[in-house]
Structure 1
Amino acid sequence: MKYRLIPVTPFQQNCTLLWCEDTKKAAVVDPGGDLDRIRAAIAEAGVTVEKILLTHAHIDHAGGTAELAKALSVPIEGPHREDDFWIQGLPMQSQMFGFPAPEVFTPDRWLDDGDTVAVGNLSFQVIHCPGHTPGHVVFYQPEAELALVGDVLFHGSIGRTDFPKGDHATLIRSITEKLFPLGDQVKFIPGHGPMSDFGTERQTNPFVADRWG
């Protein structure tokens, strides 16, 4: 498995291009915008995108989804159905944050906890991790010991919970009960900022370290 981080939008959101080395089949995770930059990364990697994956539907993660899906003729998988109100609210989000007006869409597949997502010969486990948004999901690849966690967890921080239907206690449970048990060695790609691993955050993250028994 290979991947490349592509910071997009004024929020420098970590859009991720990931692909199966055997098949060169790829997925774009959270195409929030700057689609020319994403297309350039796809061309440089020499891969064929077969789907778009969404961790959640905030505009910096989902704003370019409909346009890219149409341009590449690929399906959209994720997030969990509980984030549909965020998708329907994309135009309002664009006005609030000064983003280009995006097209509202319906994912081809809503994802639930325990589902699997295939990219080439790779299989990702879907983990529903609400708190930042109610429909937030994480994509975990066991063989690579890598998780794409969106805005649930960051190096030294956690996701905001002051948005509609955000919940701090729920977010803490998602991190400590669903992510940390995957193992200290698991690396993760956050929605913003540098990569880290669960062991580092379990020991040093001021928001969740002292909650691990």
Structure 2
Amino acid sequence: MKYIIIPVTNFMQNCTIIWDENSLDAVIVDPGGEIEKIIIEIKNRSLKLKYILITHGHLDHVGACADMAMYFSIPIYGPQKEDSFLIKGLTLQHKVFGLKKCSEFIPNRWLKNGDEISFSNIKLSVLHCPGHTPGHVIFVNHKDKLISMGDILFRGSIGRSDFPKGNYEILMHSIKTKILTLGDDYKFIPGHGPTSNLGIERKFNPFLQ
């Protein structure tokens, strides 16, 4: 399995492309904006994009979803249905966040805890991890021990819980019962900033002490 992180928009959101190096089948996680920049990376590697995967409904993570889906004729999967109010409110979000207005969309499939996304020989397990938003999900590749984390856990920090329907206690419960139980050797790609692994965060992240 290969992946590349493409920071997009002024929020430097980590859009991630994951692919099988033999078939070149790929998925993209959280295309938050700057669609031209993302398309260049896909075409330069001759990747065959299969799905768009969304961790949660904030605009800086979904801003290019509709245009990407139309350009590549592929479906959008995620997040969990509790984030539907955010997807429906994209017009309001672009005013609040100060980002470029994006095309509206409805996901082809809402995801739930325990779902699995497969392409080529790669399998991504879906874990529902509310707290930052009520419908936030993460994608876990157990074979390569890699997590697409979204905005739940960061290097040295955790996701914000002060957005609409966010909840600090629920966020911490998600981290402790869904994420840290995976094992210290799992690496993760957060929604913003540098990668880390669960062992480092368990030991040094001040929010987990």
Considering the TM-score relative to the shorter chain, is it more than 0.5?
yes
Letter in structure 2 aligned against 1:58: H
CA deviation profile, 1:49-83 (whole Å, cap 9, x unmatched): 01100000100000110111001100001100000
* SS of corresponding position for 1:126: strand
CA distance in 2, matches of 1:9, 1:112: 28
CA deviation profile, 1:101-133 (whole Å, cap 9, x unmatched): 112211111100000011222111000000000
State the match for 2:13 in structure 1.
Answer: 13
Q: How many residues align?
A: 209
* SS of corresponding position for 2:138: strand
TM-score (norm 2): 0.98
- What is the CA-CA distance between 1:100 and the residue it aligns to? 1.6
CA distance in 1, matches of 2:191, 2:112: 20
- What is the CA-CA distance between 1:22 and the residue it aligns to? 2.5
Letter in structure 1 aligned against 2:72: L
CA distance in 2, matches of 1:139, 1:100: 27
State the match for 2:85 in structure 1.
Answer: 85
CA distance in 2, matches of 1:182, 1:22: 27
Supply the RMSD in Å over aligned alpha carbons: 0.7
**Does the aligned pair in 2 maintain the 1:20–1:122 contact within 8 Å?**
yes
CA distance in 2, matches of 1:120, 1:106: 26
**Does the aligned pair in 2 maintain the 1:23–1:121 contact within 8 Å?**
no
* SS of corresponding position for 2:206: coil
Letter in structure 2 aligned against 1:105: F
The runs of at least 4 aligned residues of structure 1 exceeding 3 Å deviation read none
Letter in structure 1 aligned against 2:66: A
Letter in structure 2 aligned against 1:38: I
State the match for 1:173 in structure 2.
Answer: 173
- For structure 2, the 5+ residue unaligned runs are none
Moved more, 193-202 or 113-122: 113-122
TM-score (norm 1): 0.97
- For structure 1, the 5+ residue unaligned runs are none
State the match for 1:102 in structure 2.
Answer: 102
State the match for 1:182 in structure 2.
Answer: 182
CA deviation profile, 1:177-208 (whole Å, cap 9, x unmatched): 10011000000000000000000000110111
State the match for 1:135 in structure 2.
Answer: 135
**Does the aligned pair in 2 maintain the 1:22–1:121 contact within 8 Å?**
no
CA distance in 2, matches of 1:100, 1:45: 27
